[in-house]
């Protein structure tokens, strides 16, 4: 994934919406989290502090930063009730 953006979102007359932010964050995975974070940051840069799209974007930036730096944890270290992955449990895997 590149950090390229949909050009329409950056037109001077385009009003950034919460939906614009959600479209970017929809496919977030640890591998692409930091690229998505950067795209959302550029998208909301000019918005005032209380703007709903900025609030949603800042919340998502925090989540993506955490996801990008910590990765994804499954099994006994992640969601309760899921068995540990073999690669986490068995040192020979």
In a domain, 2, yes or no: no
User: CA–CA separation, 65 vs 33, rounded Å?
Assistant: 7
Residue 70 pLDDT exceeds 50: yes
58: Cα separation from own chain's centroid? 10
- Residue 20 pLDDT > 60, yes or no? yes
pLDDT, tens digit, 9 for 90 and up, residues 28-58? 788 888 999 999 999 999 999 999 999 999 9
The domain in which residue 15 lies consists of: 7-89
Does a structural domain hold residue 78? yes
Structural domain contains residue 1: no
| Residue 66 in domain | yes
In a domain, 42, yes or no: yes
Percent of the chain with pLDDT over 70: 70
Whole-angstrom Cα distance, residue 37 to residue 43?
10
pTM of the model: 0.65
Is the CB of residue 37 less than 8 Å from the CB of residue 45?
A: no
Query: Does residue 27 belong to any structural domain of this protein?
Result: yes
The total domain count for the chain is 1
Q: What is the pLDDT of residue 2?
A: 47
């Amino acid at each position: 994934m590149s950090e390229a953006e949909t050009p329409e979102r950056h037109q001077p007359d385009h009003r950034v919406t919460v939906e614009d932010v959600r479209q970017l964050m929809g496919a977030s995975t640890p591998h692409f989290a930091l690229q998505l974070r950067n795209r959302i940051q550029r998208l909301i840069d000019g918005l005032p502090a209380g703007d709903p799209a900025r609030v949603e974007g800042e919340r998502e930036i925090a989540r993506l930063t955490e996801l990008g730096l910590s990765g994804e944890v499954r099994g006994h270290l992640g969601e309760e009730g899921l068995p540990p992955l073999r690669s986490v449990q068995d040192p020979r895997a």
